[in-house]
Chains A and B, each alone.
Chain A
Amino acid sequence: MEELLIFGWLAWIFPLLGALLTPLLAKVGDRVRDYGAIFFSFLSVVSTVALASYLFKGHVDWPLHDSFVWLSVEGSPILNKINAGILVDPLSIIMSNVVSIIAFLIMVYSLGYMKGEEGLTRYWFFMNLFIGNMLLLVLSDNLIQMLFGWEGVGLCSYALIGFYYKDSREGWKRYWVGEGDEAYPPSHAGLKAFIMTRFGDLLLFVGAFIILTFAGTLNFVELQNGAISRVPVWALLPAIIFFFGGPIGKSAQLPLMEWLPDAMAGPTTVSALIHAATMVKAGVYLVARMFPILYATKLASDSSTLLLMFYFIAWVGGLTSFVAGTQAMVSRELKKVLAYSTVSQIGYMMMALGIAGLSVEFITGYVGSIFHLMSHALFKAALFLAAGSVIHATGSRFMYDMGGLKKYMPITFWCMALASCSLAGVPILSGFWSKDMILEASLSSGEYMLFLLALSTVIVTSFYTFRMIGLVFYGESAGESHEHHLHEAPAIMWAPYAILVAGTVVLGVGGYFVRDWLIGSFEYLMISLHGEYISNIAEESFIAFLSTMCVAIGFVPAYIFYIKRLKSPDLSSKLFSSKLWTFLAKRWYINKIYYNLFVYPTIAISGWLYENFESKVVDGLNYYIASLAKQFSSKIRRIQTGDFNDNLTLFLLGIFVAVIILRFIILGVS
């Protein structure tokens, strides 16, 4: 049973090793370095697949884990011993497989996409470092070790978003992100990502420390086994809300979502790997990891205050998915549409986890979220990689520079179209099954507001997805494309995303069975948390019907304006009133608010404080004291007149005083 656990360690050690070896391999030769990096990524795939064999063994005593003492602080009531360990259970196995397989495919794709770029050593180093850290995050058995992975992926994300750090203005159309007064160079985008996620992490710290103070440990296994019950309810609720700040930041939910669209300044492979398939899912993973612990606490305590935790998670997810979806509807950049879409879909996952906590039938929401995580990773990575081919071919990231590519890039077109259908939730593809599970969970738990919100997001999703397909592949070619010879991407580039699309189709066709298999894998949770699963065919069909209707509702305008171009696409922007369009285009002004509330004031206050307070008041105080000393001394100096008679006077006076002291004070008055 335990023999395969070593792969839990190896899964993340191999890529980290690969990252360290990359500079050395680069000295040997470029090809050695490239293939070496991919090789280590492949080794991690092997390790995670080995772990996956557990899923098929049947009746495993979850969770399996292995640990050793990392460091110890003697005598301390908290954090006495901190262990490093790995935790293998269905959640981590599924997630780690998703990460490693998609990462490997993206590494292969990078061979073609990044060919000829400078700084490739740095690229491979950070990619492998990222994969290692992500797997470390997924497979950790305690929060502290997970934080190493968590912050590590944040660091790699920072470095890779700012990969084109030269910020050159000529490459604006390819390398920057945004336009107008929201145009950001890559290094700025990287900084923004890091700072926003770091702020989320600090909130996470606060929550974690509150839990730590009472529970004495941050080990997931120990927490699940009852340590969490030592935390009193009045402390647990704020603790979890703070704690949730970390996933909000890392998974780009409201209100910390603004870094993800700007993270598109990085190379497309980075966007695919980090910002679509893996890192942004880390927040969902953490919430899913904490879910059994929190659910058990909710069951144990009778108060309904703990329900607030789950409401919070659910509403944040639901609102985010809607808001981000609306922002995607008007976006002019290809990758930004996909970025907003990612935020929106992750919102679904969070919402599902939150809803799961509110009902007895939590398994639907929980498994729905994980299923959606899997299928989203597949189709979103495929979409990003295909988008990379498109951007590579046209040399621009703006959709108005594309158009009519269907006849030049057929394979890419079909892949992207299928993946988009999966994203929108067209039946028989995997996105449909996972999204429906989420909708089902929200309906059966009685959260009708969220259900309606989710349904309207389906409409929005469908609209922006098909708008994107229409703008890129249909219509007439835009002017710029004449300079590039438009041709299909090389095989090394389309093969990975074709595989991913095939995966999404397979998952979709077998969707019903996949769903049941997943629910079976998590049976142990149902047993320990007293959940139940009732399969209601009528309800499921009703939801399937509703969601397909919503897809169709979204599809129709997109078809008219963008695919068949029956009316000019520009007219669509007049369809919304221009104020609404600007509101959405300016990202509901959230971005502007953040800059005006946090960034500029900090610099302004700092400058003002420095000039007026530090230099004038504090420093002034010092010089004032010094000048006081000077003034005092110049006044006292007047005693020394230089006139001999005055000297003698003082001399005699001094003797007189000394005699008095001697007689009366030292010898005593008698």
Chain B
Amino acid sequence: MYTILLFFIFLIACLSIYCIVTKRNMIKTVLGVEILTASINLNFIIVGVRDGYVDALAQTFAIISIAIGACIAALALALIVNVYRHYGKVDWDVVRRLKW
């Protein structure tokens, strides 16, 4: 059961990476980052499972990570709002300066 859970975490991580790497919409990218964070948090929790009890350190890490994830999301969304106000779109192309 342990392994199945890890496998699912791996699956979620891959899906989130796919989302980050492919989406053109900035908000969708941020969502992907959030999903990745969630999967890592899950990883922490699952890793902390012991026979009969739970490792406190792992759960501590998970809580801290959630908090930090929230901050990151907030910051990213603030920047995206600024971009939208400046350019009128939330496509990644508008902030691109280096051309092919």
Instruction: Tell me the A residues contacting B by CB distance below 8 Å.
Output: 638, 640-645, 648-649, 652
Contacts and interface: CB of A to CB of B under 8 A. Distances in A.
Contacts of B23: 645
A649 B22 CA distance: 9
B98 A645 contact: no
Given A640-B98, A642-B99, A649-B21, 16 more contacts: A638-B100, A641-B98, A641-B100, A642-B96, A642-B97, A642-B100, A643-B96, A644-B29, A644-B92, A644-B95, A645-B20, A645-B24, A645-B29, A648-B21, A648-B29, A652-B21
Interface in B40-75: none
Interface in B18-46: 20-24, 29
B74 to A, nearest CB: 19
Nearest to B93: A643
B89 to A, nearest CB: 14
Nearest to A652: B17
Nearest to B32: A648
A638 B98 CA distance: 11
Nearest to A637: B98
A649 B92 CA distance: 14
A82 B92 CA distance: 85
Contact of B20 (A642, A643, A652): A652
B39 to A, nearest CB: 13
Nearest to B22: A645
Contacts, number: 29
A645 to B, nearest CB: 5
A653 to B, nearest CB: 10
A659 to B, nearest CB: 13
Contacts of A648: 20-21, 29
Contact of B96 (A638, A644, A652): A644
How many B residues touch the partner, as a band?
10 to 19
Interface of B: 17, 20-24, 29, 92, 95-100
B50 to A, nearest CB: 22
Nearest to B92: A644
26 contacts: A640-B98, A641-B98, A641-B100, A642-B96, A642-B97, A642-B99, A642-B100, A643-B92, A643-B96, A644-B29, A644-B92, A644-B95, A644-B96, A645-B20, A645-B22, A645-B23, A645-B24, A645-B29, A645-B92, A648-B20, A648-B21, A648-B29, A649-B21, A652-B17, A652-B20, A652-B21
Contacts of A649: 21
A648 B92 CA distance: 12
Contacts of B99: 642
A641 B99 CA distance: 6
Nearest to A641: B100
Contacts of B100: 638, 641-642
A154 to B, nearest CB: 71
Contacts of B95: 644
Contacts of B17: 652
A644 B94 CA distance: 10
A652 B13 CA distance: 12
Nearest to A649: B21
Contacts of A652: 17, 20-21
A243 to B, nearest CB: 75
Contacts of B20: 645, 648, 652
Contacts of A645: 20-24, 29, 92
Contacts of B24: 645
B9 to A, nearest CB: 15
A638 to B, nearest CB: 8
Nearest to A644: B92
A639 to B, nearest CB: 11
Query: Which 5 A/B pairs are nearest by Cβ-Cβ distance?
Result: A642-B98, A644-B92, A642-B96, A649-B21, A645-B21
A644 B96 CA distance: 8
Nearest to A650: B21
Contacts of B96: 642-644
A638 B100 CA distance: 7
Nearest to B98: A642
B35 to A, nearest CB: 14
Q: Which of B21, B23, B92, B97 has most A Cβ within 10 Å?
A: B21
Contacts of A641: 98, 100
A641 B100 CA distance: 5
A648 to B, nearest CB: 6
A642 B92 CA distance: 10
Contacts of B98: 640-642
Contacts of B92: 643-645
Contacts of B22: 645
A643 B22 CA distance: 11
A648 B29 CA distance: 10
A640 to B, nearest CB: 6
B18 to A, nearest CB: 11
Nearest to A640: B98
A648 B19 CA distance: 11
B72 to A, nearest CB: 14
A644 B33 CA distance: 14
A649 B23 CA distance: 12
B88 to A, nearest CB: 18
A42 to B, nearest CB: 91
B22 to A, nearest CB: 6
A645 B21 CA distance: 5
